Structure formats: C-alpha cells, structure tokens
C-alpha cells in the first residue's frame, strides 16, 4: 500500500511537464550557463596554489629522509613548501591555518619498511582545507604504498637469491640487503619508483566548472524536486484526497510513510537521470565509486524528501509552499556554495554553509569526483541523514490532512 | 436496527464550536439526510464519523463497536464521498479507480472486476482511459462517487455530492443513491439543497451552528411549522427593512429576504396577502411574481432559525 502511494506520486510528477521542466531541464541549462560563465574560477592555479606542509618526523631513518628530501622537497617542490617541525609547532600551524595539513611520520617507520612490516603515516588536517589535505594524504599514501611494494619485491629477490645459493651481502656498506636492492631498483627505474599517484593528482587537482555545477545544481534541484512533491501533498490536502486516504485503509502513519517514500523516490529518480545525463552529454566524471554515488544520492534524496515534509507541515497553501521552498532552497544553495565555489566565500559563510543540506550533499559528490572512496563520504551521508531526521520529525509532528 | 449512534459529540476550533453536543441515531438501510447551511458543522461531523478528525468529547458507535477502539474494522464498512473532487486530475479515470481500489485493500482480478462495476454504475465506461482533468464537473463527481463504492461499503457517506454540477449529472447521482439504497446500503447524505434531501431521505437532521436543531421524518419536521403556508415574492428593492415591516403584520410567523426574493411563512396566506402587497407598494418594492406553496424543509429551517437555508 505504501509503495502504491509512492509510485502514484512518481507517476503524477512525471506526467507533469511543468514539474519535469523544473526538475530536469532547468538544472541542465543552469549547469551549462554557470559552467561557462564562471569556468575561470575553477582554474587549477586558483584551486591549488603551492602550499605549506608541515612534517613531524619521529623516525629520522633513511626512508623518512627520502620521503622528505626526494619527494616533498624534490619532485613535488612546485606543489609543497615543506617544513620539518615538532608536534607543538604542528598544532600551532594547523590552528593558525598556516598549513592545511601536517604529516606525522611515526617512530620506527624506516625500520618497519625495511623489515617488510605494515606502515602508516598519519595526516593531521585543517577542516576547511579538504582539497589540499586530500592531496597531501594521497601523495603520502602513494609513497608508503609504493615503498612497501618495492620492499616486497626486494625481499622476494633476496629469497630467490638464497634459494639458488647466490651470495649477496650489502651490509658492509651500512645498509640492509633489501635497501640495497631497493636502491638498485630505484637507480635502474629512475623516477618511476616515486611517481606514486602524482599523475592522478595532476588530473584531480580540481574539478571542472561543469562538474562543480553539475553537483551543485543536482543538489539544488533535488530540493526543488522535493518541493514539487510537497505542493502535490498540499493540493491533495486541499482537495481532501489525503482525508479520503485516511478514511480508506491506510492510517495516518502509513499515509505519512507513503508520502515520504514518494518524495524520496521522486528525488532519487531525478538525481539518477541528472547524473547519467551529465556524465553522457557534459562529460562530467562523477567518480569511480558507484557505491559512493549511491550512498550520497540516497542520503541526499532522504534529506531532500524530509525537507519537503517540513515545508508541507509549515505551508498551508500551494502558493506559500512555493514561496517558502524557493526562499529556503535558494538561500541554502548560495550559502552552501552552489553558486560560487565555497573557498571563495568569506569565513562566516563557510561556517553557515555547514547548516545547509547543500554543503554536505555537494561535498559528498565533490569528493567522489576527486576520486575518493565511499568511506570518505560516509560522514557527509551521516550528517545528511541526521539533518533529514530533524526535518522529518517536524514534518511528521505537524502533518495535517 | 440502529447502525450508527453518535453520543454527545463535540469539536471546537479555538473558541468556535464546530460541533456542539450532537447525538443522533441512524438506522440500517435508511437514507439519512443532514441538512444545514454552509458552515453549520455538517462536514466536521462527517469528518469525525470517517476518522479524519477526533472528537473533543463524545462517542461514535457503529454496528455496536466504538469507532475509537475498532477503527480499522469499522473503516472497512465506510465509503466516503467528499465534497471536493478527491481524485488525481492527471491520472486517467481507470488509474484513479485502480489506485483507490488498492487503498481499500483490493487487488488482482477482484480489483479489476470492481473497477468495471464502478464504471458501469457511473455510466462512464467509454471514458475510462481519459484523464480526469478532461472530464466535466458532473463526470468528475460520478467518478468521485464510484471511487467510494469499490469495496462495497455498508455505509456510504456523501458530503454535498452535487455541488456545482449540471442537472443531468445531479439526476444521475440522485438515482444512483436510490439504487444503492435499494440494494440495502445505508446512506448518510449531507446537503444544503433542501429539495435533494427532501427527495432522497427518509429521516433528516437539521444542523445549524454546530447543533442539531431538529430531527425526524419529513412529516415530523413539517409538523414543527404547523402546516403553515409559504409565500415567495419576487420584488425589486426587497431588503431587510421591508422584511422587518412584514414580520410585524398580524398572521406572519417569519420572513426573510435573499437577493430579490422575499420568503414569508404565514398561518394563512390568503389572510395576509393583501396586507403584504400593500406594504410592498408603500415601500416602493415593485412585485414581479407571487407564489404560494406548502410547508417544506426550507420553511422548517426558516421557522427554526429565522434565516433561509442558503443565507
């Protein structure tokens, strides 16, 4: 019965040409207009200028020295300005936002790598610099992964030499046999050994204006989609159709659940259509994680549908719902970075942005576009669901037939 | 046998008492009329019986069960035809009926069978595939009624089902009500159209300002005005001032004016007519027509409230 109510709402919306124009055509047009007009705001230079990275080196071994001198201050010196500092200074730098991220190399890092043990380098990041800290994290993880892989190869080589009784002893030169083989490999392969995810990073320094606005408009028009569904609820209330539903078999709880499901279904379908269309025709890369996209889309649809129930509860007429919806959605979109990149916004707006559904949903999609994995977007999804629950609670409490 | 019993029902919105201490009994198999002007509290009363709103106090008992305690079971017995067209305009008539059938718990072959039956009853089988928004007001009303009959309810509650429709559709609806009642269905029919209630209903309750001001059979209600005559006069400049002067004439029980029509209840029309005409002449109200009729529900309402039903 719930599903019949939800599917009926979906059918009604998709028969309404005006609603379809608002939900599907408008966002696609606005993406093109904003993407073309504000594309310059998304140049890689602006997105990631060279920035400071602090390194707390608790290891002092060979591997950490290679990482600092050959990677951070070497190959990637055009990207990072690297300072080796202590823990206290690191905290200060993060607090004052002098550095968006600090790399903490643990004690025994080099030894662990040389002995083929798993290693981990911690990244401390400033909350507002997700893009930059993401780059630092990716470079660091890339270094650790490649080094571990290299050493795995070196150990395999040593085992092979041992198996065939071929003598190999480099310890007289003050390095372990594995390190000696790694050194040899590095000389032979040159910079290939330290390429890590650098190429990927170049690609992902920033997303294009088209991608940015595809995500931003998707979120904004999800809310408009929910608001279209909300107006349908109010029309049903005015025509006493909701009352008639209650007088039939479904009780109030079933009716509310059915209407909420309907709104969610409308939003989810709309999001899927927009994602597929922008990927196919605008070349937007929504990321490689289908699970991640599904998670962000579902939680965004949940939050948008809950927002719709909230508007349905406070608006008495379709006109009021329309006005209130537009007011809230446009305000959320501007504050949440849907019109201009959030990093161009003043600090108070950046703080206010976190109170909007748009900011969390957009950042979920943004991170996926940047190549992040589904785990990265879980916090955004969690916040979206929590915000949705708050809206929904109000909507249920004040639901009228 | 008493099918529905309302005991001391009350419902207020703020300081306004929409339903004020209403007690009624509705018998099985009858067409029960609820008559009253707009805002009398009829729809609120209906909303309470159909579980849309809860009464502030009082109890509703249907087939011996308290509605509050056995809501789910009792709902299966009820079919509601709301005053508004509670249908989805962009869906076809068939899609609408299929949806409402599912909402009444029907499915599969039975649902299809009942939908066809409903189209037969509404006389709109040939329009089943058309969208509701392409229908005339009367056709929408007929589908609105058909949707309430899909689950074969024992009690059909019709809230002003003929508002704003053409005479042909109105006649079709009235005939449908009689046909359904003939099959044993109990009907509660609310309207502010006196003629409809008078035509359909065996027993009638008259509501005003949230209260039942009179209830009984048509004959019982007519007796309340002592078989008095009604004089309808179409006259220019008929206003409240003239009505007050007419009321003062000996033998006139009550009088009211709506648009250019004066309605007078008199003990004997012939006795007062000469005085009425001379008064209207003196007050410069040009008389266009005079019509004398027997007591009806409208005159009962006028007698009880001092106002015409459509005030």
| Confidence (pLDDT) at A40 | 61
Interface contact B91-A248, CB threshold 8 A:
no
Amino acid A43: pLDDT = 54
CATH code of B61's domain: 3.40.50.300
Position A60 pLDDT exceeds 90: no
How much is the pLDDT for A90? 86
Are both B175 and B258 inside the same structural domain? Answer: no
Residue B285's CATH number = 3.30.70.100
- Is residue B240 less than 8 Å (CB to CB) from chain A? no
Cα atoms found within 13 Å of the Cα of residue B43, Cβ hemisphere only: 14
Question: Which chain A residue shows the shortest CA-CA distance from B149?
Answer: A248
The confidence band for A185, taking pLDDT boundaries of 50, 70 and 90, is: low
- CB-based contact (8 Å) between A241 and chain B? yes
pLDDT tens digits, B36-75 = 888 889 889 999 999 888 999 999 999 999 998 998 889 9
pLDDT for the residue numbered B309 = 66
Low-confidence ranges of chain B (pLDDT < 70): 226-227, 309-311
Closest residue to B52, CB basis, from A4, A12, A401: A401
The answer to whether residues B90 and B206 belong to one domain is: yes
Same domain, B133 and B241: no
Q: Please report the pLDDT score of residue B131 as a whole number.
A: 95
For range A368-373, the mean pLDDT: 84
Indicate whether B275 and B193 sit together in one domain: no
Beta-carbon separation of A11 and B91 below 8 A: yes
* Contact state of B90 with A240 under an 8 Å Cβ cutoff: no
Q: Using the beta-carbon criterion (under 8 Å), do A238 and B84 form an inter-chain contact?
A: yes
Query: B86 — contact with chain A (CB < 8 Å)?
Result: yes
Nearest-by-CA chain A residue for B105: A249
Q: Tell me what pLDDT residue B23 has.
A: 94
pLDDT of residue A297: 95
Q: Kindly state the percentage of chain A with pLDDT values over 70.
A: 86
What pLDDT was estimated at residue A46? Answer: 43
The whole-number pLDDT of residue A197 equals 43
Percentages helix, strand, coil for chain A (3-state, rounded to 5) are 70, 5, 20
- Residues 130-169, chain B, touching A (beta carbon < 8 A): 147
For the entire predicted model, the pTM comes to: 0.69
pLDDT tens digits for range A275-300: 999 888 888 888 888 999 999 999 99
A-chain residue closest to B101, CA distance: A248
Structural domain including B263 reads 228-294
| In-domain check, residue B131 | yes
Q: Do B209 and B238 have their domain in common?
A: no
CB-CB under 8 Å, A247 with B52: yes
pLDDT tens column, A237-274: 988 899 888 888 777 888 899 999 999 999 999 999 99
Question: What is the arithmetic mean of pLDDT over A191-215?
Answer: 61
In the prediction, which pLDDT does A200 show? 45
Task: Please check whether residues B218 and B234 belong to one and the same domain.
Answer: no
Whole-number pLDDT of residue B87: 93
Check if A12 contacts B (Cβ < 8 Å).
Answer: yes
Contact A240 B91 (CB under 8 A): no
A59 pLDDT above the threshold of 90: no
Residues B38, B125: one domain? yes
Nearest to B259 by CA among B235, B291, B223, B280: B235
| Chain B contact present for A253, CB below 8 A | no
The boundaries of every CATH 3.40.1710 domain in chain A are: 49-203
Phi, psi (deg, nearest 5) at residue B191: -165, 160
Judge if B95 and B242 occupy the same domain: no
* Complex ipTM over 0.85: no
Same domain? B216 vs B233: no
Instruction: Pick the range with the lowest mean pLDDT from A155-169, A194-208, B286-300.
Output: A194-208
- Does A154 touch chain B if contact means CB atoms closer than 8 Å? no
Please say if the pLDDT value at position A44 is more than 60.
no
Cβ neighbours of B99 in A, within 8 Å: 4, 8
Is B304 within a domain?
no
**Is B104–A248 a contact, with Cβ atoms under 8 angstroms apart?**
yes
Domain limit, last residue, from B222, B245, B279: B222
- Are B92 and B241 within one domain? no
Interval A357-386 mean pLDDT: 90
pLDDT of residue A92: 86
Domain membership of residue B120 (yes or no) is yes
- Rounded to 10 deg, the angle between the B93-103 and B137-149 helix axes is 30
Residue to substitute from A247, A251, A257, A401, interface B, most B β-carbons within 10 A: A247
3-state SS of B29-45 is CCEEEEECCCCCCHHHH
- Identify whether residues B12 and B147 lie together within a single domain: yes
Residues whose CB is less than 8 angstroms from the CB of residue A89 and which lie 6 or more positions away in sequence, other chains included = A54
B211/chain A closest Cα distance in angstroms: 23
Secondary structure in 3-state letters for chain B: CEEEEEEEEEEEECCEEEEEEEEEEEECCCEEEEECCCCCCHHHHHHHHCCCCCCCEEEEEECCEECCCCHHHHHCCEEEECCCCCCCCCCEHHHHHHHHHHHCCCCHHHHHHHHHHHHHHHCCHHHCCCEHHHCCHHHHHHHHHHHHHCCCCCEEEEECCCCCCCHHHHHHHHHHHHHHHHCCCEEEEEECCHHHHHHHCCEEEEEECCEEEEEEEHHHHHHCCCCCEEEEEEECCCCHHHHHHHHCCCCEEEEEEECCEEEEEECCHHHHHHHHHHHHHHCCCCEEEEEEECCCHHHHHHHHHCCCCCC
For the stretch A9-20, what's the b/e string if a residue is b when 16 or more beta carbons lie within 10 angstroms of its beta carbon?
bbbbbbeeeebb
Both tokens of B130, joined, read 């058309």
Q: Which residues of B touch A401 (CB under 8 A)?
A: 52
Tens of pLDDT along B107-136?
999 999 999 999 998 889 999 999 999 998
Total domain count for chain B? 2
Contact B50 A401 (CB under 8 A): no
Please indicate, yes or no, whether residues B75 and B109 belong to a single structural domain of this protein. yes
> Where does the pLDDT of residue A193 fall: very low under 50, low under 70, confident under 90, or very high at 90 and above?
very low
Report the pLDDT value the prediction gives residue B267, as an integer from 0 to 100: 81
State residue A196's pLDDT score: 45
Select from B222, B240, B258 the last residue of a domain: B222
Cβ distance of B82 and A251 shorter than 8 Å: no
Q: Which of A35-39, A180-184, A395-399 has the highest mean pLDDT?
A: A395-399
Q: What is the enclosing helix (H) or strand (E) of A396?
A: helix A374-397
Which pLDDT score, from 0 to 100, does residue A209 have? 80
Q: Does B78 touch chain A (CB under 8 A)?
A: yes
β-pair partners for B13: B16
Write down the pLDDT at residue A45: 44
Class of domain A49-203: alpha beta
Contact (CB, 8 A) for B64 and B94:
no
At residue B268, the pLDDT reads 81
Angle, CA of A97, A100 and A106, to the nearest 5°: 115
Q: Would the pLDDT of A108 be above 70?
A: yes
Q: Do A249 and B75 touch (CB under 8 A)?
A: yes
Inter-chain contact A247–B78, Cβ cutoff 8 Å? yes
CB nearest A239 (choices: B50, B85, B147): B85
Write the pLDDT tens digit of every residue in A305-357. Answer: 999 999 999 998 999 999 999 899 999 988 888 887 777 777 788 888 889 99
Whether B305 is in a domain gets the answer no
């Amino acid at each position: 019965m719930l599903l019949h109510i939800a599917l009926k709402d979906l059918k009604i919306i998709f028969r309404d040409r005006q609603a379809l124009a608002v939900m599907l055509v408008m966002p696609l047009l606005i993406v093109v207009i904003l993407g073309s007009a504000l594309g310059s705001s998304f140049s890689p230079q602006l997105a990631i200028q060279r920035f400071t990275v602090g390194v707390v080196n608790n290891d002092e071994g060979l591997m950490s020295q290679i990482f600092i001198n050959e990677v951070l201050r070497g190959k990637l010196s055009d990207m990072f300005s690297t300072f080796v500092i202590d823990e206290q200074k690191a905290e200060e730098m993060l607090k004052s936002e002098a550095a968006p991220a600090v790399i903490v190399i643990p004690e025994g890092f080099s030894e662990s790598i040389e002995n083929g043990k798993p290693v981990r380098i911690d990244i401390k990041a400033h909350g507002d610099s997700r893009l930059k800290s993401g780059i630092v994290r990716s470079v660091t993880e890339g270094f650790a992964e490649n080094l571990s892989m290299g050493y795995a190869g070196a150990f395999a080589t040593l085992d092979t030499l041992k198996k065939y009784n071929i003598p190999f002893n480099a310890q007289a030169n003050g390095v372990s046999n594995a390190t000696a083989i790694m050194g040899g490999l590095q000389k032979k392969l040159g910079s290939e050994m330290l390429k890590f995810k650098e190429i990927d990073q170049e690609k992902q320094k920033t997303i294009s204006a088209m991608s940015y606005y595809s995500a931003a408009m998707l979120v904004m028009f999800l809310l408009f989609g929910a608001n279209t569904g909300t107006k349908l609820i109010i029309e049903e209330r005015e025509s006493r159709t909701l009352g008639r539903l209650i007088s039939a078999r479904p009780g109030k709880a079933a009716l509310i659940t059915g209407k909420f499901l309907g709104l969610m279904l409308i939003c989810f379908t709309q999001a899927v259509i927009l994602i597929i269309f922008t990927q196919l025709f605008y070349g937007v890369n929504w990321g490689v994680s289908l699970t991640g996209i599904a998670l962000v889309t579902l939680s965004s649809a949940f939050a948008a549908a809950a927002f719709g129930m909230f508007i349905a509860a406070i608006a008495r007429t379709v006109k009021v719902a329309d006005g209130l919806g537009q007011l809230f959605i446009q305000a959320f979109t501007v504050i949440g970075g849907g019109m201009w990149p959030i990093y161009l916004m003043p600090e108070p707006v950046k703080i206010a942005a976190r109170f909007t559904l748009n900011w969390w949903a957009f950042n979920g999609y943004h991170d996926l576009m940047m190549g992040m994995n589904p785990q990265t977007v879980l916090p955004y999804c969690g916040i979206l669901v929590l915000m949705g629950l708050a809206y929904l609670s109000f909507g249920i409490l004040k639901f009228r037939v | 046998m008493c099918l529905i019993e309302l005991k001391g029902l009350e419902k207020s919105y703020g300081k306004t008492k929409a339903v004020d201490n209403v007690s009624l009994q509705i018998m099985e198999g009858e067409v029960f009329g609820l008559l009253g002007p707009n805002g009398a509290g009829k729809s609120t009363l209906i909303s309470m019986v159909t579980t849309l709103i809860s009464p502030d106090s009082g109890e509703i008992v249907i087939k011996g069960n308290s509605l509050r305690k056995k809501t789910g079971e009792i709902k299966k017995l009820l079919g509601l035809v709301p005053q508004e067209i509670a249908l989805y305009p962009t869906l076809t008539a068939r899609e609408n009926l299929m949806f409402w059938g599912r909402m009444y718990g029907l499915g599969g072959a039975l649902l299809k069978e009942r939908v066809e039956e409903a189209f037969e009853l509404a006389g709109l089988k040939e329009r089943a595939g058309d969208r509701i928004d392409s229908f005339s007001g009367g056709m929408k009303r007929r589908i609105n009624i058909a949707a309430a009959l899909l689950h074969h309810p024992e009690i059909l509650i019709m809230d002003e089902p003929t508002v704003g429709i053409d005479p042909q559709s109105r006649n079709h609806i009235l005939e449908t009500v009689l046909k359904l009642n003939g099959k044993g269905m109990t009907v509660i029919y609310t309207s502010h159209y006196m003629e409809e209630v008078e035509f359909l209903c065996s027993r009638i309750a008259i509501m005003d300002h949230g209260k039942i001001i009179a209830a009984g059979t048509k004959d019982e209600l007519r007796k309340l005005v002592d078989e008095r005559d009604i004089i309808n006069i179409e006259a220019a400049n008929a206003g409240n001032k003239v009505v007050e002067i007419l009321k003062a004439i000996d033998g006139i029980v009550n009088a009211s004016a709506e648009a250019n029509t004066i309605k007078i209840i008199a003990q004997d029309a012939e006795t007062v007519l000469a005085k009425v005409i001379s008064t209207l002449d003196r007050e410069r109200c040009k008389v266009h027509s005079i019509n004398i009729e027997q007591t009806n529900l409208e005159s009962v309402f006028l007698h009880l409230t001092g106002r015409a039903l459509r005030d």
